[in-house]
A and B are shown apart, each in its own frame.
Chain A
Amino acid sequence: MSIQESLRLVSHGPIAVLEWDLIGEKVNKLSSPIMARFREILAELKTSPYKAIIFVSKKQKIFIAGADIEEIKGLSNAMECRQVLSEAHEIFNALEDLPIPTIAAIHGACLGGGCELVMACDYRLASDAKETKIGLPEIKLGVFPGFGGCLRLPRIVGLQASLDIILQGKSVDSKKALKMGWVDECVPEQLLEKRAFALAQEIVSGKKGKQFKKYVPKTKLDSFLESFVGRRIVFSKAKKSVLSATKGFYPAPLKALEVIQKTYGCTSREKSQAIEMAGFGEVAIGPISKYLIDIFYLTESVKKQTGVPSLPDLKPKTIRRMAVLGAGTMGGGIAQLAADNQIEVRMKDITNEALALGYKAASDLWQKDLQRKKLTAFDFQRKMSLISGGLDFSGFGQMDLVVEAIVEDMEVKKKVIAETVKHCSDQCIIATNTSSLSVTEMAKAHPYPKNFVGMHFFNPVNKMPLVEVIRGPQSSDEATAAVFACAKRMGKIPVVVKDGPGFLVNRLLMPYMIEAMFILEDGMDVQTVDHWFTHKFGMPMGPYRLMDEVGLDVCLKVVKIFKKSLGDRIEIPKITEKLASSGRLGKKNGRGYYSYDEKGKEMGVDHSIYKDLGLSQPTQKLTEKEVLERGVFTMINEAALVLYEDRIVEKPDAVDLGMIMGTGFPPFRGGLLRYADSLGTKYIATELDVYAARFGKRLTTSQPLANMAKNDRKFYS
């Protein structure tokens, strides 16, 4: 019944309107039952007297969001895949072959399978509303368009544009879509249906008929690139850029490229579709797609959360005005991000010079967008106008949130927090952006610690998607939820964590960085180790490069804090002493493990580092496996403690989300703990114990991990 109702055929004389409106769902998607119903309707239409058909969505902001992701995730073997896909192909082919011309009147998101559906229609009209997006994001889920998208898109928009869309999983607005020839018209939102009817009338009256859109190159260069020789250039360039972007870790874009290369220009639809099906099957049943889908679900679920699991409907106050204490790298970055998301923000610092840097940081980022035409001069002006600065607490009486981003010194922070509170209203939430100090201790400086939380952004603020929301023992539900919501509004993915040294992400990273220093002491060289971690394991940067980025002084400071709070489990490498006295601060002073030019561009490993650290020339005696396992397993070992002993987070997925969004842990591995599960805790524990015996007891399997290993339990059960 509900399926019947979800897809309604409404008759308007010679014109039929097919209304998509999935009952009981927020969005329209192409699940199996809907596809079956669609097949029925197409069969019905084939013999109907209608002269034109219009497709519309009755959802507010969605046309068709795509295939049912749950069904993609459920695909476990090639057979199953082939069955689902060939059915879809049959249906879309029937649509394409329908003797009656079809018009898709697209308003709202038209993505993935939905987009492939409209590509099988004769005419595509798109509304000019900003929610109208047309695209093929499948690659982000580790697959590629499998309902004929790899065949129809290149035909409609040409090879270059289609590769750009499919390989990067892009979506475009309707203006861009029109320019590309992807849609036929971009119509004002309010006139879309009217225009669709007018077009249908033209079809009814015989002025227009079926249309089989084919790309026509506009320039000589475009024509060349479509030619036999030009194509090969396009494909080889595309392959190169895929490889450099993914380091070859992701099979889907390469497979998609292969499919398009084999099918482009092929005249047999059946043959082409068989190639697409086979390729899709290969990537869809593999683990990487499953991992990417899990991560997609994780980030989507964050959007629905409040940050307080017991109160899923909590509506915290909206942060309209906020202040940042300190206009430095972090404070300035937070101010820019706030203003970028329409929050009035006040920077407070102790000198005008410092404030000027804050303004500059924001301005520079938006200037780039301005140059790339992502921003108009008016947008730029408006965003800049949301930021103001001062040396005193002016305006703090109206603040909903104050984020502290001053020097990492407990006493200073406590003093400043106590002072700040005096200038704020009672409802104002104060948050600390500390990365290493105790939020619980800091909260003591606040007379109402319920209004105090941690809000830990990662550097660079505009790029790193994670925000750790640190809920202290006294932080209120309201304050936690308000900061959680604010982080979301700022376009970030918040993860609520309990207070503890390094919270979640740095807690796991620190032992990894320490292990990297031991690996250096054991005779490995910086470049090889970093290369293994990036190109063999898939980290965005290796541990030494990462330490340079964080700042070596900061790393050493945090190591000490960890030693103090975690005790004997933390062993301090000997080289830290020498590192501290070498004057190397990392990227910020141009000298770390690597050297950097004035603009901060990396200039390669600084080979004098070994001498400075009192190390002999590298002997390379460790294997790739040993190095990677020491680095990664030590994080897994720590994660077991974080989860089951200190209970910093409740569930393993928070660890994975945190690591992927906060450190760029390779998504294709599913996250730290999904990766651990893929190896098995037993294996990890056994290896760790071997390493502990060889390299030091810090690598001893932690109790909770040992317990898991004993019963061969997984993190995700």
Chain B
Amino acid sequence: MAKSGRDVVIVDGVRTPFAKANSKLRALHPAELGKVALKELVNRTNLDVNLVDEVIVGNVGNPSDAVNISRVVALRAGIPQSVSAHSVHRNCASAMESITSGYDKIKAGSADVVVAGGTENMSQFPLMMGNAFVQTFEKLSMARSPIQQLTALAGLLKADLKQVVDLMTTGPFQSTPFKPRVAVVEGLTDPFVGINMGQTAEILAKEFGLSREEQDEFALRSHQKAVQAQQSKRLDAETTPVFLPPKYKEFVTQDIGPRAEQTLAQLAKLKPFFDRQYGTITVGNACPITDGAAMVLLMSREKALSLGYKPIASIRSYAFAGLEPERMGLGPVYSTPKALKKAGLTLADMGLFEINEAFAAQVLSCVKAMGSKKFAQEKLGLDQAVGEIDMEKLNVNGGAIALGHPVGATGTRLVITLMKEMQIKNVQFGLATLCIGGGQGGAVILEREQS
């Protein structure tokens, strides 16, 4: 395809290490994580910050003290106050949405330089009070006379008691008016069909006949590849250290998630988490909840060239697609052919694949579904299968099972990992795709730039 000045190129990208929730990065506000990544991106690219037209940051948890988190990230990172910034939300694909939004802006000619990325601190997802509990608080604050106050206080104590009773007598995913609401659990529960993400993966595992062993093996490979990539310093090319306030005694330089000592036997011991009796999904073959941020610098080709940049990749196309919420894990199967069609390419043209590993079962189902003509005809309305995925080209540096999945940042992480690997492997085209809670898929096709 002929190159155009309005092609959207990625100048560079950088991310913080991803850290399993409630580990080292737990105290850092997502805006702070985003700032670290963006500041480093500005420095690595020697970017004149005055040239930025827009900052777009994906985030799922939407912290109440930084609701337009993109603006907070931008200002803290030293982007001028005159530059506009907005946040985007497409669940697990929020940080892919930020890139594709930037892509659209540049394509449309309304921007030349866009910073896109995502940030998430899942450790900081709040514990919220149940509705009935909140009402007792309201009564207390409205109480005027001492009698009213005493009654309200008694009501609060009673609610407290009920809360404890509910906590002890109901299951972890069952909500009651008094139980505290766990944002991370609610966020991972489909609000339309009412099942947890893990349960959607259970559906796929059963429908695609995936055994516990093959899922565990896939998970193990993810760890092995990630550990290998850490040891070879491959991942250092895309991460920047995070220094930990307030004492700054410690800093995180590598992802906290990949386990060098992980064995199949250990994985096999874990109990299924979502379906205790017949299930195969465990915490070992699913991705952990994670903290982290990632940022890329997008430009129109002509702008990048005029500034003397040598971009790493260009974005050939992207697509989002919808499907049944309870099978959301198959999202990539729906979005990929759409993106391929737009790019005028086939799956066979792809030299590298990044499919986000929400669950081993989910990735394996995608691979199977993409290879299935029947699935293509019945579900996608295509004549032929989407294509075969060479497992050797898939997630070559490990995936979210090992590296983690900070929901609002993963989309950008996939793109960064992919484009850097495309340079190393000298591959022309690559696919980054992920499934999206709520029943969607997203896909971005990259082309390597000569640099």
* Chain A interface (Cβ < 8 Å from any Cβ of B): 344, 346, 352, 355-357, 359-360, 363, 367, 381-382, 384-386, 388-390, 394-398
Contact = CB atoms under 8 A, between A and B. Distances in A.
B448 interface: no
Interface in B34-93: 35-36, 39-40, 42-44, 46-48, 76-78
Given A344-B78, A385-B78, A386-B78, A360 B248 contact: yes
Given A352-B241, A355-B243, A363-B248, A398 B35 contact: no
B246 A363 contact: yes
B76 A395 contact: no
Contacts of B77: 385
Given A394-B44, A395-B42, A395-B46, A385 B243 contact: no
B251 interface: yes
Q: Chain A at the B interface: mostly helix, strand, loop or mixed?
A: helix
Contacts of A346: 43
Contacts of B39: 385, 388
B76 A360 contact: no
A637 B250 CA distance: 50
B293 to A, nearest CB: 14
Contacts of A360: 247-249
Nearest to A344: B78
Contacts of B176: none
Nearest to A353: B251
22 contacts: A344-B78, A352-B253, A355-B243, A355-B251, A356-B250, A357-B248, A359-B245, A359-B248, A360-B248, A363-B248, A384-B245, A385-B76, A386-B78, A388-B36, A388-B39, A388-B43, A389-B243, A390-B240, A394-B46, A395-B46, A397-B46, A398-B43
A396 B253 CA distance: 22
Contacts of B40: 388, 390, 394
Given A394-B40, A394-B44, A395-B43, A367 B246 contact: yes
A382 B76 contact: yes
B76 to A, nearest CB: 4
Interface residues of B, number: 24
B302 to A, nearest CB: 20
B251 A352 contact: yes
Interface string B229-264: 000000000001101011111110100000000000
Contacts of B251: 352, 355-356
Nearest to B48: A398
B245 A396 contact: no
Among A344, A352, A359, A388, which residue has the most Cβ atoms of chain B within 10 A? Answer: A388
A365 to B, nearest CB: 12
A398 B78 contact: no
Interface in B214-240: 240
A394 B43 contact: yes
Contacts of A384: 245
Nearest to A390: B43
A394 B78 CA distance: 15
Contacts of A396: 46
A398 B248 contact: no
A385 B42 CA distance: 13
A389 B241 CA distance: 9
Contacts of B253: 352
A660 B106 CA distance: 58
A388 B240 CA distance: 11
Contacts of A355: 241, 243, 251
Given A356-B249, A360-B249, 13 more contacts: A352-B253, A355-B243, A360-B247, A363-B245, A363-B248, A367-B246, A385-B35, A385-B78, A388-B43, A394-B40, A395-B43, A396-B46, A398-B46
A379 to B, nearest CB: 13
The 3 lowest CB-CB distance pairs between A and B, nearest first, are A395-B43, A397-B46, A360-B248
B44 A395 contact: yes
Nearest to B41: A394
Nearest to B76: A385
